Chain A
Amino acid sequence: MTAYIMAFIVGGLICVIGQLLMDLTPLTPAHVLVLFVVMGALLSGIGLYQPLVDLGGAGATIPLPGFGHALVVGTIEDVDKYGFWGIFSGALRASATGVMAAVVFGFAMSVLFNPKG
């Protein structure tokens, strides 16, 4: 049960940061998404995002900074394993399921449905 409460709180708070950025700065949602992925990747790089994942579970991996985190975790793993060329393989390997799902489901839904306006 604690895991769910923590996921709710951590995930909710990350979204609140996004909301503040959208309401108080001229940033558009697209800017916020890009900013969050980059921030997630950078925080992950300096080792600050993993503790958040340990704390919040899906609350930290489901919001977009978690995507940036996944990219970096994969890259670092592959660098450990394969050296220099791991920089090129890790990010996509680690995020493959998400990206593949996004493209395939995105395509399928756009074939099946029409915009309602």
Chain B
Amino acid sequence: MSENIRQQMKEEAFQQKFNQVKPKPPLLKNIIWAFVVGGFICTIGQFVLDYFLSLGMGKKEAAGSATAVMVFLGSFFTGLGIYDELGKRAGAGSIVPITGFANSIVAPAMEFKREGYIFGVGAKMFVIAGPVLVYGMVTAFIVGLVYWLRQ
């Protein structure tokens, strides 16, 4: 027991020392990058959306098509090897938009192609996007259920 306590004390002392020398992320710079890049991607999205609306599409159809175009752009720039370079600087600015969701699908699919098309591309495609779909759908289900019960 005393051995446990001694180890715990050691860990706490070390953690304290570690926190003192821990480099802080350059918060202001990161926030500016995230804001500008995230804002820019959304502006492109707005532009695409307006274009589809101007073709006379319905609101929902236009939104869906705009999403598809953004997903295409995210996938394409991941394939070219540009999106991860952007992500290094932009952080959440390029992760949070739907283009980042596309990046999270293409990156592992491409990376694990060497393990074959079934266990590589097919299986690994959703290592990061899978949880997003799972928890998104489960939440939507719960919200839907509550909505139905209250009707």
Contacts and interface: CB of A to CB of B under 8 A. Distances in A.
Q: Is chain B in direct contact with chain A in the complex (CB below 8 A)? A: yes
Interface in A1-27: 3-4, 7-24
B132 interface: yes
A18 B135 CA distance: 17
A11 B41 contact: yes
Contacts of A110: 79, 106, 109-110, 113, 121, 125
Nearest to A30: B128
Nearest to A39: B139
A14 B101 contact: no
A45 B67 contact: no
Interface in B88-123: 91-93, 95-102, 104-107, 109-111, 113, 121
Contacts, number: 268
A33 interface: yes
B71 A12 contact: no
Given A76-B147, A106-B102, A12 B75 contact: no
Nearest to A87: B144
A38 B137 CA distance: 9
Nearest to A62: B45
B43 interface: yes
Contacts of B72: 101, 105
A5 B83 CA distance: 24
A67 B101 contact: yes
A15 B46 contact: no
B39 A59 contact: yes
A15 B81 CA distance: 22
Given A79-B148, A98-B71, A62 B39 contact: no
Interface in A58-117: 58-59, 61-64, 66-68, 70-72, 74-76, 78-79, 83-84, 86-88, 90-92, 96-103, 105-116
A50 interface: no
B141 A101 contact: no
A32 interface: yes
B92 A15 contact: yes
B56 interface: no
A29 interface: yes
- Most chain B beta-carbon neighbours within 10 Å: one of A10, A17, A99, A109: A109
B34 A18 contact: yes
A78 B141 CA distance: 12
